[in-house]
Structure 1
Amino acid sequence: MKSSQYTEPNFEQFFAKIAPEVANTFTEEQLEAIKKGFASRTWTRHSLDIRVSVPIPGLRFYVVLLAGQERRPKVRLSSEKGLYPFWTPGNILFLIGFLIIILACSYTIFSFTVSSFTPVSSSNYPTSIPWIYDKSECEHTGRIWDDGKCWDSEHSPNF
């Protein structure tokens, strides 16, 4: 096999997938042209490049999120729409799950924010103390005995 002098990794991966009986038929000029084709591809990093393996027992699962400046020609974009459609069952389930998580988080944050701005009532409301049945015990604790019940006039609804 003639691939030993070519060290470019993408070329090596490509060349390793070719059957040896076919790979041995390439001339040096053909191999050099293929190598130049691989070298001309400029691989640059994306502005956003997140690649995560998700540890789900029994499944080999990963997530990739890439974003950056669009450099693909319009012809390639239109051909890839057919190869990689956006509205697939898997994508729809992912988007629904993602939206549910976003809505739940938003609701929680909104509820917490609104409750922190809601004024706490400083009013006190009288309430009966159900475990005190005796007038003397009631008055001993600084409460008021009325209509056969012990009343606490300083009870707060925020208690």
Structure 2
Amino acid sequence: MKRLEHVDPVFDQLFAKIPPEITDTFTEEQLKAIKKVFGSRNWGRHPLDLRVSVPIPGLRFYLVLLAGSERGLKQRLQYEKSVYPLWTPGNIVFLTGFLIILLTSSFTTFSFLFSLLTSVPTSPYPTSIPWLHNKFECEHTGRTWRDGDCWDSEHNPMF
């Protein structure tokens, strides 16, 4: 088998999969052309590159999220759309679940923030005190007896 000087790991993996009886037939010109193609490729790292193995018992599952600026040719992009369509059953299930989780968490977060902003006013207002049953007990605690009830004029709703 002809040996190539190290180009990159992807090239090494692909070249190793070619049977030796074929690699032995490559000329030096062909090998140089192959190296040149692999050396000029634009397969760099993405600004966002998340690769996670999801530990689900009994399943080997992974998730990859890549993002960056689009530098591809229109012809290649159209080809990839036909090879990797967006609306497949698996993608629809994933996107639906993701959307449900996103909406639920957003609703919960906004409800919590709204409740903080519109909390119950803390200014006191008059309230009857049900456990004080006579005028003496009521006035002894600094409250007012009126119409057979004991009234506290400084009751705090946060009590």
TM bucket (normalised to shorter chain) is: 0.7 to 0.9
- Structure 1 residues 43 and 54: CA distance shift in structure 2, 3 A: closer
2:50 aligns to what?
51
1:89 aligns to what?
89
1:7: Cα distance to partner?
0.8
1:156 and 2:118 correspond: no
Aligned ranges 1:1-159 → 2 under 5 Å: 1-3=1-3, 5-9=4-8, 10-46=10-46, 48-58=47-57, 59-118=59-118, 120-121=120-121, 122-130=123-131, 141-143=141-143, 152-159=152-159
1:148: Cα distance to partner?
7.6
1:2: Cα distance to partner?
0.6
Q: Which runs of 5+ in 2 are unaligned?
A: none
- Structure 1 residues 19 and 138: CA distance shift in structure 2, 3 A: farther
- Using structure 1 for the length normalisation, give the TM-score: 0.74
Alignment partners' CA distance in 2, 1:138 and 1:32: 102
Alignment partners' CA distance in 2, 1:92 and 1:76: 24
- 2:87 is matched by which residue type in structure 1? W
- Structure 1 residues 52 and 11: CA distance shift in structure 2, 3 A: closer
Percent of paired sites with the same residue? 56
1:96: Cα distance to partner?
1.9
- Using structure 2 for the length normalisation, give the TM-score: 0.74
Report the number of matched residues. Answer: 156
Alignment partners' CA distance in 2, 1:50 and 1:125: 61
Q: Which runs of 5+ in 1 are unaligned?
A: none
Alignment partners' CA distance in 1, 2:126 and 2:96: 47
Contact 2:127 2:153 in 1 (8 A): yes
Alignment partners' CA distance in 1, 2:37 and 2:119: 69
Contact 1:129 1:151 in 2 (8 A): no
